[in-house]
Structure 1
Amino acid sequence: MNSATATELTRRSMLKSLGAAAGLGLGGNVLGVGRASAQGLTTVTLQLGWLASNGILGEVAAAEQGFFEEEGLELEITPGGPNVDGVASVASGRASLGSISSSPSLMLARSQGLPIKCIAAGYQQHPFTYFSLEKNPVREPQDLIGKTVATNGTARILLQALLAANDIPENEVEVLVMGSDMSPLLTGQADVVTGWKTNTSALEVLGEERVDMTLWDAGIKLYANPYYVTDTSLAESPEMVAGALRAIARGWGWVRDNPEAAVEILVSRYPNLDKEAELKTVDMVVDYSFNEATAEHGWGTMTRENWQAQLDAYDQLGQFEGEAPSVDDVMTLSVLEETASARPTYG
């Protein structure tokens, strides 16, 4: 996943991206939910909120290993991109399920009346990170005071949340809008740039003097790569939803056990990806997917308490129109409970 697409959506950008997705029609290769394939399998379409990358290692591994077929399913992956987060595709029924960069996007969508709900968290911690250099390091939130931070326009809300959580006035930090590369830090335009820590190709230019402060360590504990479906799918197609999540969970377990082979599968399906860069990154991706929480509760686990904290933070920042959605509006543990025996318990 690249830093250009892996950022939060504010209320306005959410509406813009949903409209773009609907207007584009998401291309002619998107299959309807539950369409039967020639092999008698039910085709499920996974709509991504980003361009295909190492964020779907588990999915492509699961497809290659036959895990979807064992569930009576056939997987089709539809990429998103900078202007297509995929939420509209899932909400309208064009896609069976979706995975988006960050959990607050689902909260914002629900607050706009879209009937979608999170069923699992792909990454247990969010890789979004503030990068600086040793000559002027930012190691903790208080170090941001007096600094110039270059970030994506849609990620400004993340900085606002970080500052609010650490009692730092917004006027103490200057903000610039950046693209997908890290040049503002190297040219001196900014003291800090932002992006996903898993985007190793873009980060190579920063060299060994790079200093990282993750959003998670700074106190903003978001989930990354959350999986979501519609209320209708949960009510009317629970077997399909559970089967898809079981296959995906097993795929990520396979990636953890066979990282190099998983990269081979990924780059064979998406030859635009750089194999060497993906090999350098795969262990980090696995670490974001499995930790002490998954060791106890299995891949994809999430908590109501974490979701409530996110809802509270975004409500305090005025990101919801009207009343904030409830935890039960935005997530359910029912699919995780249904698939508990199949989800790998690695730490």
Structure 2
Amino acid sequence: MKTIRAVGAVFAGVLIAATVACSGGGSPAPDSESEQPTKLRLALHWTYPVAEWDGIVVADELGYYEEAGLDVELQFLSGSTATVQAVAAGESDLGLAGPDTILSGVDSGLEFTVVANHLQRTSSGVIAPAASGIESFEDLEGKTVSTAAASPEQAMLRSKLAEAGLDSESDLALSFVDPQAKCTVVLSGAADACTGQNNHHVIQFADEGVDPVFLSFSTEEQPILGHSIFANDAYLADHADAVSRFLEATMRGYETAAEDLDAVVDIYVKQRPETDAAFLLKTLEASHELMYSDRTDEHGWGWMDDTAWQALADSLLAGEVLGSEVSVSEIYTNDYLPEDAWKPQPLD
């Protein structure tokens, strides 16, 4: 495992506090230097580190996985579909993916188990310039909305439009573009709004001098969770303790990261010098605001329940991404989460 400890001094005080706070209730690491660390292949849903993985990046860089007796291989893949397929096929042991893609995989017969939900709310929604007058999904009537074709995000949009009493085929125009361009076309004036993320595209709007309005797909009445960590079922059965140790080390990484996001930016820039540090800091701040919920207030980091999974499943079923109802209680477990887990809080 690659561990760069040069930035450890930046985290010195935080690292000590996080180590003490997270030492209880966890699974022990191998107690002998002669024991070999457990190998764990982690599939990530993009080709380079992104903001919402900062806990994993920190855990890897500061040696938390090594301390937990793990040899973690980070596998950088192209999108959530690739990570879901890799984990289901046994080419990866654990993975990160959007919950919409996870549910689509379950619907298509793939087998795996979700073991943590590190983004408690989805970052997805509709973004429009404030000057457009768009303040609700009802206001999209007669507008052009750019989105990616055949995507769960597009399906959630259709579901929200239906809730607003709009027919996505006749009451507005959906413009299907490359996923990388869906919000750029709004900034160029070719569309009125786009589907996108509040921890990326909203920041892009603001950096371009455009005051954004964000209509989240998640609401208090229908909470929709964000990206989650899931495991290959065979690996989980054979390495349950390793999965528990991985989740505890990962939680430590997120807790440490939350204490000093500027230091996290330093790690990312060290790994990838072309990183836009100012933009990254904003995306880190926005991502950490998605990590807490009533669930984590009560149970701690990563906790899941049926309510949020069911809200997403209902939305995807309405958008015809799922072919049938999914028994959401059977696709996840909280059994491998750390005891007395860290409880994320809003950033100061």
Q: TM-score if structure 1 supplies the norm length?
A: 0.81
Letter paired with 2:100: P
Partner of 2:28: none
Name the SS of the counterpart of 1:289 in structure 2.
coil
Q: How far apart, in 1, do the equivalents of 2:38 and 2:89 lie?
A: 19
Cα distance per residue 1:154-190 (max 9 Å; x no partner): 2321211211233322221210013323332233321
1:163-202 aligned within 5 A: 163-170=161-168, 171-179=170-178, 180-181=180-181, 182-199=183-200, 202=204
Name the SS of the counterpart of 1:95 in structure 2.
coil
Partner of 1:113: 109
Letter paired with 1:344: W
The alpha-carbon deviation at position 110 of structure 1 amounts to 1.0
1:1-80 aligned within 5 A: 40-51=36-47, 52-80=49-77
1:112-151 aligned within 5 A: 112-151=108-147
After the TM superposition, list the runs of 4 or more consecutive aligned residues in structure 1 that deviate by more than 6 angstroms. Answer: none
Name the SS of the counterpart of 2:214 in structure 1.
strand
Change (3 A) 1:206 1:150: farther
Unaligned stretches of 5+ residues in structure 2: 1-33
Alpha-carbon RMSD across the aligned residues, in angstroms, is 2.4
* 8 Å Cα contact 1:297/1:345 also seen in 2: yes
Q: How far apart, in 1, do the equivalents of 2:162 and 2:171 lie?
A: 12
Q: Does 1:213 align with 2:212?
A: no
Letter paired with 1:65: L
* 8 Å Cα contact 1:123/1:225 also seen in 2: yes
1:142-291 aligned within 5 A: 142-153=138-149, 154=151, 155-170=153-168, 171-179=170-178, 180-181=180-181, 182-199=183-200, 202-204=204-206, 206-217=208-219, 221-291=223-293
Letter paired with 2:313: L
Cα distance per residue 1:68-90 (max 9 Å; x no partner): 12221022211122596311111
Q: How far apart, in 2, do the equivalents of 1:83 and 1:99 lie?
A: 7
* 8 Å Cα contact 1:294/1:300 also seen in 2: yes
Q: Larger deviation: 77-86 or 126-135?
A: 77-86
Letter paired with 2:160: L
The alpha-carbon deviation at position 202 of structure 1 amounts to 3.6
Unaligned stretches of 5+ residues in structure 1: 1-37
Change (3 A) 1:166 1:335: farther
Partner of 1:313: 315
Q: How far apart, in 1, do the equivalents of 2:332 and 2:214 lie?
A: 30
Q: How far apart, in 2, do the equivalents of 1:324 and 1:213 lie?
A: 26
Cα distance per residue 1:34-54 (max 9 Å; x no partner): xxxx98222212101223211
Name the SS of the counterpart of 1:123 in structure 2.
coil
Q: How far apart, in 1, do the equivalents of 2:331 and 2:214 lie?
A: 31
Partner of 2:3: none
State, as a whole percentage, how many aligned pairs show the same letter: 24
* 8 Å Cα contact 2:46/2:78 also seen in 1: yes
